[in-house]
Amino acid sequence: SAVISQKPSRDICQRGTSLTIQCQVDSQVTMMFWYRQQPGQSLTLIATANQGSEATYESGFVIDKFPISRPNLTFSTLTVSNMSPEDSSIYLCSVEVSGGGSSYNEQFFGPGTRLTVL
């Protein structure tokens, strides 16, 4: 398993500003991801945070809007840029941990950052 912390846990921001969310893991992991859950919607993968290279974004998400850093194997940041009310969501980071042997790798999640944009 993995213990994941996120900062901030919640924030209320003004339209047009940017917020950077931090994710810290208690062990080195290769695969690290960022998700969001908009109100009433499913958890949706934003991007895979790659250590030492640019993040891999899913369809509908772009680097200019959600720049991601991954300076090492235990830390990543997600920035929500030029925010609008539609960005109000819970943002979660997750990591994939090897199940060992033939076990399926599992994903573990941070507690999330609850963002409200006014």
Partner 1 sequence: ILNVEQSPQSLHVQEGDSTNFTCSFPSSNFYALHWYRWETAKSPEALFVMTLNGDEKKKGRISATLNTKEGYSYLYIKGSQPEDSATYLCAFSGSNDYKLSFGAGTTVTVRA
Give the footprint of partner 1 on this chain (CB under 8 A). 4, 9, 31, 33, 40-45, 48, 92, 96, 99, 104-112
For the bound state, the minimum distance from the C-beta of residue 15 to partner 1, rounded and expressed in Å, comes to 25
Amino acid sitting at position 17:
T
How far is the first Cα of the chain from the last one, in angstroms, to the nearest whole number?
A: 36
**Cα 32 to Cα 6, 18, 36, 106, distances in angstroms:** 13, 22, 14, 12
For the bound state, the minimum distance from the C-beta of residue 87 to partner 1, rounded and expressed in Å, comes to 19
In the complex with partner 1, which residue's Cβ is closer, 54 or 106?
106
